[in-house]
Amino acid sequence: MVNDILTQAEERMKKAVSSLHDNFGSVRTGRANAMLLDRIKVDYYGVPTPVNQMAGIKSPDAHLLVIEPWDKGVLRAIEHAILESDLGVTPSNDGSVIRLPFPALTEERRRELVKQCKTYAEEARVAVRKARQEANSAIERTVKEESLPEDDERRGQAEVQKLTDKYIAEVDAVFKKKEAEVMEI
């Protein structure tokens, strides 16, 4: 019973770290990254569709993304969606492809992006701690309902704490790596 609770808690903690990776993927660094477009949705015949599902995205160099839609009729819609997003880049449309030039980030903008990353990291830490809290509560309930020894409760809570420490350390490591990447010139 306690092992099931531990497994569920670990799954939730893994999801928190995975979500953090997704959030960090959408944070712009000094180089062009196709993941920046994952959150941009385009109205495609009345259906909000991600750009990466309606176009090929290439990165010919570190500061440029080229979007080549499979249906040329959606060029304007993609361009409009990018302008409406908070990417901070201006697309150029030549009639067949859209080019997204990514200028070098200023020091001030880098600091803003690091703050945004800190927020994402803190959200992940909170999610990990919440999983710990819920696992500890479930262990307490199980021990009371099943009349299990209190040693099982203490062991279970110690295991939950080990998992928590492991995933908090992972969140911190991922954040440090992303912070270094953003601050790199």
Predicted confidence (pLDDT) at residue 185 exceeds the cutoff of 70: no
Q: Torsion over CA of 71, 77, 82 and 84, rounded to 10 degrees?
A: -170
pLDDT at position 36, please? 77
Please give the average per-residue pLDDT across 2-14, as a whole number: 90
Q: What is the DSSP string of 56-73?
A: EEEEEETTEEEEEESSGG
pLDDT for res 153:
87
The pLDDT of residue 30: 66
How many CA atoms are closer than 13 Å to the CA of 61, on its beta-carbon side?
6
Domains and CATH numbers, the chain: 2-25+106-183 (1.10.132.20), 34-101 (3.30.1360.40)
Listed in sequence order, the residues at least 6 apart from 164 whose beta carbon sits closer than 8 Å to its beta carbon are 13, 128, 129, 131, 132
What pLDDT shows up at residue 123?
Answer: 95
Give the global pTM. Answer: 0.72
* pLDDT score, position 151: 86
pLDDT at 24 over 90: no
pLDDT tens-digit readout, 97-135 = 999 887 777 888 888 889 999 999 999 999 999 999 999
pLDDT at 60: 86
pLDDT digits (tens, 9 = 90+) for 28-45: 666 777 777 878 888 888
For the purposes of burial, counting CB atoms within 10 Å of the CB of 120, is it exposed (0-12), middle (13-18) or buried (19 or more)?
A: buried
The arithmetic mean of pLDDT across residues 62-83, rounded, is: 87
Q: Give me the pLDDT at residue 125, please.
A: 96
